[in-house]
Amino acid sequence: MISPQKSTTLFPPSSFPTLNPSTSLTTLPVDVLTYTLMYLRAYDLSSLQQTCVCFSDRDLVVRVVKCVSEQIYPSSLTLGWKSEKVSGRRAEATTGGFERLRDLEMLVVARVLSRPDAEEGFFVSKAWCKSALKWLEASTPSKKASSSKKKGRIRERRLSNALPPWPNINVDLVCEHGSLVRSSKPRAKRKVIDKKAWKVLRRLYPESKEMSTNDSECLECKFNRLENQRKEQEKQNKNKTERKKVLEVGFVREVFNRTKGVPNHCLASTPTPPLFSSPSPTPLSCGICSSTPTSVVDLPIAPIATPPPQKLPSPTRSLRSWPPLGNSGVTPSKKQPKVEMQMLMPDGVLPPPPVFKMVNLPPPPVFKMASPPTPNPTSLPIPITSPIPFTPAAPPPSPPPYPAYNPPLSAGKYFILPRSYLQSWRHYIRAGGELPDPSSYPQTTCNLHGKCVPPFHLIQWLNNTTPTLLTISQRSNPSLNTVEILTEAEYASLIEKFPKIGSFFQESVTVGREGVKWGEDGNGACFNCEQEGRGKVTVR
């Protein structure tokens, strides 16, 4: 450790060696000096010129540039670089510096990057290529001196943010471990050049990392990526399982599967009982009748034994067995006896013929009309006639104060929720993501009067003006005023799982034969706020 009393200078000026002119670099032969300088870049040679005046010799500069163009770079990359059309600089205007060598390097880089992609070779970042070409274009003077001012301003604006390319060509293709980074589309961010082109770029940018097309992805990065994917998949499965738990409640599942915005079991035209009578999703069953078929279709069909078909005698067989006619020219050998069909007794004896006898019937009786007895007028009582009381006809029934109302829903209380929120909630249950916030969706309560603001399509449906609550367009693209209807049980099950819903959506409607009541207490609906001119509804 250096003592504070002593000087902190490790090497005093007297200890530096003095430069001997006889042993300096300039004493080397010209050919050796030329071949030594030709492996340096134009940037390095310019710095060398600033340190020693001997390197500003014009003949030395020309020899170095000539050797570099002929021996370092292929002839296909340096063809025509001396002409003014290619380099953009006149040869006679060149000073003793290495500007010509810099122009040669820029031309070589531009031609290397302009080549099409090779099949195999080395990777080069496309972002670096774009930045390098833009910088080369900005560094090259304009070839057309007579270009218009408008085109000149456009070119200056386009090249105003041009920056020199960074020393490491593949800095964005290297991971933190120094290996090739993974890319889903390698051709979108990488350019493939051959081995000769890579040597040219590597000479000009020696800090570049060599990346061959045969190199694979970094093993450490691949392991970390697969591990992160596994953890993310487990997290998604866990979240999906938690989201699907709410569908175990039957009423919540009914709301999730609903497409028309109305509970089908509550429609007046379909008086079927609700699908779920309790929040429990388990169907009622017992062990005794669990094997009993629930439908006629489920009953087994036993095959019925049918007798084999019997062949009936042909009616024409008896015709063919009849004797021939007399006029056919054939004489029968014997006359067939005539046999009469008679009923046989059980013992085979013919029964006797029946005997009929005539029976004399008695004559029919003769009935005579007897004359009624003549009553004695003195012996009959005199009836006392009393007046029949007059009963007036019942008056016709008085008509009801309002016409009969046939609601499309069965009598009961229902709650109103925006369809846009329910659609977002269904998407969250189905695909995950962020749970929708009820506060960011339109409310159905008037802030000025504190009453329910019924949407127009709900009013029309309750008045039996439209056949359905939601049209086809409202089902696919619900607007801000489109709502759905939930029963009390569905609403209670939904706010039990998502309590925040009950803080923002509380409006209800009570449907009955006497009419419709809006609001929790039946205080009516607000038709003045954003609902004027949309029609009327039966409000009681």
Check whether 10 has a pLDDT greater than 90: no
Instruction: Supply φ then ψ for residue 19, to 5 degrees.
Output: -80, 125
Check whether 106 has a pLDDT greater than 80: yes
Q: Compute the C-alpha angle 516/518/524, nearest 5°.
A: 105
DSSP label at 86? H
User: How much is the pLDDT for 34?
Assistant: 85
User: How much is the pLDDT for 518?
Assistant: 84
The answer to whether 43 and 49 are in contact (CB under 8 A) is no
Of residues 296 and 178, the one with the higher pLDDT is 178
Residue type, 397: P
Q: How far apart are CA 101 and CA 94, in angstroms?
A: 11
Check whether 236 has a pLDDT greater than 50: yes
489-538 pLDDT per residue, tens? 999 999 999 999 988 888 888 888 888 888 776 667 776 665 443 333 33
Alpha helices in 52-172 (DSSP H): 58-67, 75-78, 84-87, 99-113, 126-139, 149-158
Q: Determine the average pLDDT of the residues in 342-363.
A: 55
The answer to whether 78 and 104 are in contact (CB under 8 A) is yes
Of residues 148 and 314, the one with the higher pLDDT is 148
Of residues 225 and 383, the one with the higher pLDDT is 225
Q: Determine the average pLDDT of the residues in 319-325.
A: 47
Check whether 367 has a pLDDT greater than 90: no
The answer to whether 179 and 187 are in contact (CB under 8 A) is no
508-512 sheet: strands from edge to edge? 483-487, 412-418, 508-512, 515-518
380-432 pLDDT per residue, tens? 455 555 566 667 667 776 655 555 678 888 989 999 999 999 999 999 999 88
